[in-house]
């Protein structure tokens, strides 16, 4: 794939933009799709990959730039993979705190041994809106769901996600460490390999 100096990230999430720019370093300038439109496309896919491709094509169409989309979320074993692709809208779009509260409530009676979960990230990169060969890279980060929030960093479900190898929640990790371990970091490492950067 041809190298490029900038791309548009198909997200209005400032946390994601900051994380992905840090992971890509100075090799590529990452711009937010918010510079081109405030309207988010409807995520009609039934999987992380389908939604990532849909968002990438939309961002490329709006910006005229190569586009990278990240569709990610939390898949909880005891909930059959929920909230999954609906992670950001789990509590009817009321935000991170409401999503976390709902998850804790739903898992209230679930013992530690059955609280396994993984963060999932699907990255889709398209060179242009009609790219017939999007690059897809996926990353998983295994952990379990805590009984109460811990930590001040990160966003989303980070305060509830226990990282066994670090003996802390994702929200207790410094950003630089999270950016080496997370589902997004794993998917991005594969993408950088594919792009040769």
Enumerate the active-site residues. 71
The verdict on whether residue 178 carries a ligand-binding annotation is yes
**Residue 73 tokens, joined:** 């979320």
The verdict on whether residue 29 carries a ligand-binding annotation is no
CA angle in degrees (0–180, nearest 5) for 188-160-110 = 120
Query: What CA–CA distance (Å, rounded) separates 193 from 50?
Result: 22
Please answer whether residues 169 and 163 qualify as being in contact, where contact means their C-beta atoms are separated by less than 8 angstroms: yes
The verdict on whether residue 11 carries a ligand-binding annotation is yes
Helix/strand/coil for 100: helix
What is the DSSP secondary structure assignment for residue 194, as one 8-state letter?
A: H
The verdict on whether residue 192 carries a ligand-binding annotation is no
The verdict on whether residue 131 carries a ligand-binding annotation is no
**Residue 186 tokens, joined:** 């794993």
In terms of Cα–Cα distance, which of 183, 184, 20, 16 is closest to 6?
Answer: 20
The verdict on whether residue 16 carries a ligand-binding annotation is yes
The verdict on whether residue 58 carries a ligand-binding annotation is no
**Residue 196 tokens, joined:** 């040769």
The verdict on whether residue 155 carries a ligand-binding annotation is yes
User: Number of C-alpha atoms within 13 angstroms, CB side, residue 112?
Assistant: 4
Query: What CA–CA distance (Å, rounded) separates 40 from 5?
Result: 24
The verdict on whether residue 184 carries a ligand-binding annotation is yes
The verdict on whether residue 196 carries a ligand-binding annotation is no
The verdict on whether residue 72 carries a ligand-binding annotation is yes
**Residue 189 tokens, joined:** 């490492």
Binding residues: 11-16, 42, 71-72, 155-158, 178, 183-184
Binding residues for Mg(2+): 42, 71
Binding residues for substrate: 11-16, 72, 155-158, 178, 183-184
């Amino acid at each position: 794939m041809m190298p490029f100096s900038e791309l548009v990230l198909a997200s209005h999430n400032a946390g994601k933009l900051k994380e992905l720019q840090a992971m890509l370093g100075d090799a590529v300038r990452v711009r937010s799709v918010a510079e081109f439109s405030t309207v988010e496309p409807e995520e009609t896919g039934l999987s992380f990959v389908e939604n990532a491709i849909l968002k990438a094509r939309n961002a490329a169409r709006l910006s005229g730039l190569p586009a990278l989309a990240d569709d990610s979320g939390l898949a909880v074993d005891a909930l059959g993979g929920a909230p999954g692709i609906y992670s950001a809208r789990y509590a009817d779009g009321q935000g991170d705190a409401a999503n976390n509260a709902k998850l804790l409530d739903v898992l209230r009676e679930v013992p530690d041994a059955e609280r396994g979960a993984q963060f999932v990230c699907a990255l889709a990169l398209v060179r242009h809106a009609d790219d017939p060969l999007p690059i897809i890279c996926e990353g998983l980060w295994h952990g379990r769901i805590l009984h109460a929030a811990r930590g001040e960093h990160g966003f989303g479900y980070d305060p509830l996600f226990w990282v066994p190898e670090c003996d802390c929640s994702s929200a207790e990790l410094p950003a630089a460490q999270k950016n080496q371990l997370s589902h997004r970091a794993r998917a991005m490492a594969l993408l950088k390999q594919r792009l040769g950067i």
